[in-house]
Chain A
Amino acid sequence: MNNKRLSLAEEAHLLDAQLATRRLFLKQCSMGLGALAFSPLINACTSESNGSSNTLFDPTKPLLPKTPHLPGKAKSVIYLHMAGAPSQLELFDYKPELKKLDGQLCPESLLKGKKFAFIRGVPKMLGTIGEFKQRGQSGAWVSHYMPHLAGVADELSFLKAVHTDQFNHAPAQLLMQTGSARLGRPSLGSWVTYGLGSENANLPGFVVLTSGGQNPDAGKSVWGSGFLPSVYQGVHCRSHGEPVLYLDNPANVDGNMRKASIDAINQANKETYKEFNDPETLSRISQYEMAFRMQISAPDVMNISDEPAYIHEMYGTEPGKESFANNVLLARKLVEKGVRFVQLFDWGWDVHGNSTDTSLEIGLVNKCKQIDKAITALILDLKQRGLLEETLIVWGSEFGRTPMQENRNGLEMPFKGRDHHADAFTIWMCGGGAKAGTTYGETDEIGFYPVDGKVSVYDVQATILHLLGFNHETFTYPFQGRPFRLTDVEGTVIKPILS
């Protein structure tokens, strides 16, 4: 863009620094507890200000990169959420005792006071059908369901005793991603983008990629911005057609004509600025420039077909298809380009055993095949690019599965399957400051309850924020008269898995 325009952008920057056009910002400075609790970040609001301009929500540049509370090891996050809840008992949480109990009626003592989504009466215990081995130097247990991942077990940091308090998909996904089982709160990715901005002005700061044919059960709220400004919501990028909604020009407009029209719009808007001196007009000029740059750069970034053949081989990608593997490769490209938070949702993990697709014997095997190679490739690829240290990968779901076989509606199921289980499940992290080759937490002999290293959803969230450089207790936003935070009133950083 030409010099004249650059100087206008500079002018815009100066002006809005002086004007701080939004009341919200002023409120945060003068009144809001939340922003003040955040004072290390926004010292412009404190009386001890050193004069630097570092606000969390600058409405004219909401995605400007920002520095967190503390130096964080992770600069970006790739969060892989397996919607529906895979069975930790088949993949990572090895329970030989459970195998011995296979087919026996569940003891009443385990059922007392328990509520399940679908198990009724007295179910039977179901032995694991995963063949487990200890892997690598760390000796982490990984089953035959994930043969590739087993090879990089030493890179992973397992949490084996995570618990939640929701046993239905939609509320549990909301709790995991927004810190509340009810609709209306900002998602993890929104919080992170709000707190850190984005490194690439030509791409959205928070990108969501979905596979499996369905959106997660909780809908788009799991990447919604809740009460944070809407600019922080996840941008759902699509596998078919334009990668970002409305990124493509209409059929009668091509890149040249789009450039010509944005030039005309911005030329006219500069005249409008001269007339009204409204800083919002200047901001609009730069937003249109950014939109144009996004139109040019996003399709390139979003296009995986020009990756070399060995990369496709490694990830198991097939360009043009909607697949988890494609999304994983895309995620790598995005964080490489400075996107702050990439959230993947893969649908189809709800292994109840009521159909082939939801069976542990067939359905789960197929689902694992779809992710195993790609995730392993992601870890190795980020490592070889030197990006793993600053990219946090999180793999997990909204809850786990029961050690009992499901008996939906009190009936025997046609396939082997397990019900939703909130009390214990496995999540792993990798890179970004998570300690490689660790396993933290342990469940009882049948994988029903945690016996050691029990952590909550909030602890996981606190840890992710910590790795990004945030103190989850002071990272707040004022809403409804009080400072809100992702972890509400809970959460402790899980220190044993920090590197």
Chain B
Amino acid sequence: MSIRIFNSLKWAVPIVIVSGVVLFFPDIFSVKDKDSFYVEEVKPIINKKCISCHGGVKQSAGFSMMNRASFFKKNDSGKPAIDVSNPSQSELLLRINHEDPKERMPSEGKPLSSKEIKTFEKWLEMGAPWGEHWAYKALSPVKVPSNSSWMGIFGGNKEKGNAVDAFIQQKLNENNLKLNPTADKETLLRRVSLDLIGIPAPKDIADKYLNSTAPDAYKTLVNELLKLPQFGEKWASVWLDIARFADSKGYEKDGNRQIWRYRDWVIQALNKDMPYNHFITEQIAGDLLPNPKDEHFIATAFHRNTPTNDEGGTDDEEFRTAAVIDRVNTTFEGLMSTTFACTQCHGHPYEDIKHEEYFQFLAFFNNTRDEDTVEEFPVIRHYEKTDSLQLLDLVAWVKKTATPKRADEIYSFLKFLQPLVYATHADLFVNSELYDTKYLVFRKKSSARIKDVVLNGEVRFIAQQRGNSKKGKLTIRLDSLRGKVLGQFNIPSTEGKWSFTPFDIQPVYGKHDLYFSYDNASLRSDTESGFTLNAFHLDHAFPGNEGDPSKKSMDSLYWALLRKNPPNTPIMMDNKPENARKTQVFIRGNWKVKGEVVSPGIPKVLSNSFNLTKPNRMGMVEWMTDKRNPLVSRTLVNRLWEQLFGTGIVETLEDFGSQGTLPSHPELLDYLSWQFMNKHKWSIKSSLKEIVLSQTYRQSSVVTSEKLKKDPNNRLLSRAPRIRLSAEQVRDQALHVAGLLSNKMYGPSVMPYQPEGIWASPYDGNKWKISEGEDKYRRSIYTYYKRSSPYPSQLTFDGTGRNVCNARRIRTNTPLQALVTLNDPVFMEAATHFGQKMLENPGLSVNDRIQHGYHILLNKPISPTLLQPLVKLYKDSKTYYKSHPELVKEIQVENPNVEDAAFALVANAMLNLDVIITKN
């Protein structure tokens, strides 16, 4: 990053003046002790005023302020910046106090304020104590504030609070505020349902709660909601933003990607409350677990959600590298709230993270088998039931007949098509070519090379190939076009279809360049293609003794399975040691300019003395989930909090670093994080339960002018927040109240109604084909997500692009959102059905019908002030529709009448009410 942009900065004091009104921040960031003096007082000044010239990137005058030692090191002036034995004569103080503007620091901009200078003076007098940034400090048990300070002071609220409330009330006390009384039952029911399952509660659960007088009725409700399968659907939608999950590949044609099984894995894992440390272990390193099962591989698709580029002429290595970088950044931003991306080009400007450390971390990810190929190799193949049983039979037979190692090899190839050498590695083309930079095409007399193939005495060359000609002959030689012949064979025609075909080769050992030459006199011209190679697999002879009758049947089973083309899912899988990719630093972040070789490692400032024992993704995730690592649990707990309260305890979900915001309630964050790892054993459901059972969560959202004045932004939580529903919730709620929402779970993504002409990717034959039956009305998490053309209404309601990790959705409020909920046929259809529900009981008055609808929406009676405009709308529209039958006949019900039309319009209005679009 350029230094220039930091130089012209002007700095703010934490007082905001807007329209002449002075707002004071609540005093929630006060200094606690000597240890935190550096972090809370000194470091912010350094970050604002000094670090752009004396940081991790630029070190003017040989002076950096990144770590304590550098303050005591002699810099270009020949002296260290500070001398604690003689603070007042320290160079640092002399320079910030200098009268000559040319000598004074900061060298550009205004001098430091007297308050800032005093802070430095005080710091030196204290002996320049260093402190660790709050987010990197290990977690330890946190003492819950004592009861006496907060018990019984919930404003008019007789309920007993829990530990969460103790922390919240402590801050409120400091500001002479109290929690609001508990929200009414109906409000709380809707709030907790939307939060836990994303949609209103099923009627039976809702009624049971509303009719119960038991003191623990609310707790029972929470328990029941947590058990519903819709829980996983709601929380998976949060996770999929981090995972940048989508159903397409990303660039140009943006073709289909089969990866929905990963989405289903997430839903299932959340529903069974898989401990979070396992949840991320399986996603990052499931393939490296002992005896991994299919679902462990599917979990690793987490990091195969990176965009890929199938555009002709692209450099696969460029996009492979981009994917690896994306995995590093996603792992840090999404799972550890740390911005690491800047160290791609240089040392971190604010944290003590070095440029090389980025690439050490990148090395964990840099050895995977994916290379931006069209087929998305490596994949896991999902055989149909009988086929997978046969595969197990085959593997068992090999194990018995040959060795367990042989059985593993055969299983690996049939299940993952690995190891496989991709033809995209070819070069030295003579009348051959990488067609569309994807497939190696051989013509009449042609040759090409594939470098560095490791041979282990295999005798079969199994080619994934296609061709139309029966006459071609392929010769493979070692290390030159005149080298030793590895194999020579006639290529059969596959009639233009891709097929796996075996050829015999000589057993050879060691790493060799393979030279392919192809000759086919039957081709009419030099330019006609004869044979196309996509990839090949080297294998030993099929196991079993000649004459063993079972060998023949097993051999044909092998080929039958291999040639099936079952659905698959892209996964993570590492290169074998002999093919391991080495990782080099990219000089200034340029992937083409490589520097020193590095091996996998964890940035020192974040290691918390963790001892890395496995230099692979498993080792990495062991560090992440080690209890000494505070980032993973803090990040998750903060995210849960943000989902419930609209704003995280740390507002910047994506950045806990010194440029992010400070936690509003640091002790609470640490308490919850500690509980999460220890008491709750990484259970997301238990943590959520602890929070939603608090009085803080249960209070009402009504705000008094006193609270508005003292806690204008509700950072102290003196009331419950009001939050606009998420994109998914807005649609799902409308379908739910209309009785349209399907409860079908899992499976390929679906295509609900979308206007014509939204998809128009070049060279892509895929079409948006509206799903049949209930698939039109599935929850939004199942909507097909094409990256180049996301579902329009979801994007309008702040859905994310799903191209890179998105740790936080920024909520907006725009007229285009109003147009969606008013006019999108999906919403009008829902309104029509909802209107019919209001009409379903004969003999009700209009008021009662609207009342009935409101009850479906919110489980409570409508206030007269809300009822009045809706009744008026009903009356006016009924009169109007009577004289406009052409509008009435457009209502999508059988034999529509004026009543249907008026209620469809009223229902449409009701679904647009602030109280409906908002979680109250």
Q: Report which A residues bind B (CB closer than 8 A).
A: 14, 17-21, 23-24, 26-27, 29-31, 33, 36-37, 39, 44-49, 51-53, 55, 59-60, 62, 115-118, 120-121, 167-171, 182-184, 204, 210, 213-215, 217-221, 224, 226, 229-231, 233, 235, 238, 240-241, 244-254, 256-258, 260-265, 267-269, 271-278, 280-281, 283-284, 287-288, 290-291, 294-295, 347, 409-412, 420, 473-474, 476, 478-483, 485, 489
**Closest Cβ neighbor of A266 among chain B residues:** B869
B865 within 8 Å of A (CB atoms): yes
In the complex where A183-B801, A251-B887 touch, is A245 in contact with B755 (Cβ < 8 A)? yes
Q: Is the CB of A214 within 8 A of B19?
A: no
Name the A residues within 8 Å of B18 (CB-CB).
Answer: 17-18, 20, 44, 53, 55
Residues 749-789 of chain B, each 1 if its beta carbon lies under 8 Å from chain A, else 0: 00000011100111000000000000000000000000111
Known contacts A183-B250, A215-B761, A261-B905; is-contact A30 B25 (Cβ 8 Å): yes
Q: Which residue of B lies closest to A21 (CB)?
A: B713
Q: Which residues of A contact B832 (CB under 8 A)?
A: 252
Q: Across the interface, which residues of A come within 8 angstroms of B489, CB to CB?
A: none
Tell me whether B659 and A31 are in contact (CB under 8 A).
yes
Is B795 in contact with chain A by the CB < 8 A criterion? yes
A23 with B313: in contact, given A287-B815, A288-B818, A481-B339 (CB under 8 Å)? no
- Determine whether B283 belongs to the interface, using a CB cutoff of 8 Å to chain A: no
- Please indicate the chain A residues that have their CB under 8 angstroms from the CB of B13 in the complex: 47
Residue of B nearest to A410 (CB): B433
Q: A280 with B17: in contact, given A254-B887, A272-B913, A481-B350 (CB under 8 Å)? A: no
Q: Across the two chains, which residue of chain A brings its CB closest to B724?
A: A280
B301 located at the interface, meaning its Cβ lies under 8 Å from any Cβ of chain A in the complex: no
Q: How far is the CA of A461 from the CA of B341 in the complex (A)?
A: 23
Q: Is B661 an interface residue (CB 8 A)?
A: yes
Bound state CA distance, A210 and B789, in angstroms? 14
Is the C-beta of B233 less than 8 angstroms from some C-beta in chain A?
no
Q: A53-B19, A230-B810, A291-B818 are in contact. Are A29 and B12 (CB under 8 A)?
A: yes
Contacts of A117 in B (CB 8 A): 312-314, 437
Are the CB atoms of A168 and B311 closer together than 8 Å?
yes
Stretch of B198-206, B287-295, B568-576, B819-827 lying at the A interface: B819-827
Shortest distance between the CB of A482 and any CB in chain B (Å): 5
Contacting pair A244 B789 (CB below 8 A): no
Q: In the docked arrangement, what's the CA distance between A17 and B17, Å?
A: 10
Cα distance, A473 to B318, chains bound together (Å): 28
Contact call B17/A44, Cβ cutoff below 8 A: yes
Q: Is the CB of B722 within 8 A of A250?
A: no
| Contact present for B813 and A287 (CB under 8 Å) | yes
CB-contact partner of B307 in A37, A183, A485, under 8 A:
A183
Select one of B17, B713, B828 contacting A250, CB under 8 A. Answer: B828
Interface residues on B, range: 35 or more
Give the residue among B4, B431, B657, B660 with the most A Cβ atoms within 10 A.
B660
The answer to whether A27 touches B12 (Cβ under 8 A) is no
Contact residues in B for A241 (Cβ distance below 8 Å): 755-757
CA distance A52 to B787 in the complex (A): 41
A-B contact count (CB 8 A): 353
Q: Which of A51, A115, A229 contacts B20 (CB 8 A)?
A: A51
The answer for the CA separation of A273 and B866 in the assembled complex, in Å, is: 11
Instruction: Assess whether B251 is in contact with A183, with CB atoms less than 8 Å apart.
Output: yes
* A183, A210, A276, A294: residue with the most chain B Cβ atoms closer than 10 Å: A183
Q: Say yes or no: is B370 at the interface (Cβ < 8 Å to chain A).
A: no
CA distance A252 to B913 in the complex (A): 20
Residues of A within 8 A of B521 (CB): none
Q: Are B814 and A231 in contact (CB under 8 A)?
A: yes
The 8 A CB mask of B336-366 against A (1 = contact, 0 = none) is: 0001011000000110000000000000000
Of the listed residues A226, A274, A288, A476, the one surrounded by the most CB atoms of chain B closer than 10 A to its CB is: A288
Contacts of A281 in B (CB 8 A): 722, 914, 918
In the complex, A220 Cα to B796 Cα: how many Å?
13
Whether B819 lies near A276 (C-beta < 8 A) is: no
The answer to whether B433 touches A120 (Cβ under 8 A) is yes
User: Which B residues between 283 and 322 are near A, CB-CB below 8 angstroms?
Assistant: 307, 309, 311-315, 322
Asked if B373 CB lies within 8 Å of chain A CBs, one says: no
Contact A14/B651 with A31-B659, A47-B12 known, Cβ cut-off 8 Å: no
The reply to whether A170 and B251 form a contact with Cβ atoms under 8 Å apart is: yes
Bound complex: CA of A247 vs CA of B818, how far in Å?
A: 10
Could you give 28 example pairs across A and B, Cβ below 8 Å? A18-B21, A27-B651, A36-B9, A117-B312, A167-B313, A183-B803, A219-B789, A221-B803, A241-B757, A246-B822, A250-B908, A252-B887, A253-B828, A253-B887, A253-B905, A257-B877, A258-B822, A264-B906, A268-B870, A268-B909, A268-B913, A276-B702, A288-B818, A291-B818, A291-B819, A480-B333, A481-B350, A481-B654
Of the listed residues A52, A254, A261, the one surrounded by the most CB atoms of chain B closer than 10 A to its CB is A261
Tell me if B16 and A20 are in contact (CB < 8 A). Answer: yes
Contact with A along B711-745 (1 / 0, CB 8 A): 01101000000101000000000000000000000
Checking B15, B661, B713, B760 against A19 with a beta-carbon cut-off of 8 angstroms, the contacting residue is B713
Cβ B309 vs Cβ A171 within 8 A: yes
Which residue on chain A has the smallest CB distance to residue B17?
Answer: A49
Give B1 Cβ to nearest chain A Cβ, in Å. 6
Min distance, Cβ A195 to any Cβ of chain B, angstroms:
16
B223 contacts partner chain A, Cβ-Cβ < 8 Å: no
Besides the contacts A268-B866, A480-B342, what 20 more A-B pairs have beta carbons closer than 8 Å? A23-B647, A31-B659, A47-B13, A49-B17, A171-B309, A183-B803, A215-B762, A217-B251, A219-B788, A220-B788, A220-B790, A230-B812, A244-B816, A250-B825, A252-B890, A261-B912, A268-B865, A273-B914, A284-B813, A294-B815
**Cβ-defined partner of A59 (8 Å) among B312, B811, B906:** B811
A51 to B872, CA, bound (A): 44
Residues A480 and B341 in contact in the complex (CB < 8 Å), given A254-B887, A284-B914:
yes
* Interface hits, B650-699 → A, CB 8 Å: 651-652, 654-655, 657, 659-661
Decide if A221 touches B815 in the complex (CB within 8 Å).
no
**Shortest beta-carbon distance, A331 to chain B, in Å?**
19
Alpha-carbon distance A158/B813, docked complex (angstroms) = 41
B789 contacts A30, CB within 8 Å?
A: no
A52 contacts which chain B residues (CB < 8 A)? 19
Cα(A478)–Cα(B887), bound, Å: 49
Interface membership of B213, Cβ < 8 A: no
Is A480 a contact partner of B887 (Cβ separation < 8 A)?
Answer: no
Output the least CB separation between A461 and chain B (Å): 15
CA distance A248 to B755 in the complex (A): 12
Residues from chain A with a CB closer than 8 A to the CB of B820 are 246
A168 partner residues in chain B, CB cutoff 8 A: 252, 309, 311, 313-314
Does B904 touch A at the CB level, under 8 Å? yes
Q: Is B471 an interface residue (CB 8 A)?
A: no
CB-CB under 8 A from B788, the residues of chain A are 215, 218-221
B195: min CB distance to chain A, Å: 18
Shortest CB–CB separation between residue B360 and chain A, in angstroms?
A: 20
In chain B, residues 435-456, which have Cβ atoms closer than 8 Å to a Cβ of chain A? 435-437, 441
Bound complex: CA of A62 vs CA of B367, how far in Å? 45
CB-based contact B5/A473 at 8 Å: yes
> In whole Å, how far is A489's beta carbon from the nearest beta carbon of chain B?
4
A290 x B23 contact (CB < 8 A): no
B920: interface (CB < 8 Å): yes
CA distance A48 to B12 in the complex (A): 9
Chain B residues within 8 Å of A33, by CB: 6, 9, 659
- Report whether A46 and B10 are in contact in the complex, using a CB–CB cutoff of 8 Å: yes
Q: Which 5 A-B pairs have the closest CB atoms?
A: A219-B788, A117-B313, A481-B339, A183-B803, A251-B890
* Docked-complex contact B755 and A233, CB < 8 angstroms: no
CB of B11 closer than 8 Å to a CB of A: yes
B429 within 8 A of A: yes
Chain A CB within 8 A of B602 CB: no
| Nearest chain A CB to B99 CB, angstrom units | 23
Specify which chain A residues have a CB less than 8 angstroms from the CB of B819 in the assembled complex: 244-247, 291, 294-295
Is B703 among interface residues, defined by CB-CB distance under 8 A?
Answer: yes
Q: Is the CB of A29 within 8 A of B796?
A: no
A245 to B432, CA, bound (A): 48
> Assuming the A-B contacts A116-B313, A184-B804, A254-B887, are A265 and B825 also in contact, with contact meaning beta carbons closer than 8 angstroms in the complex?
no
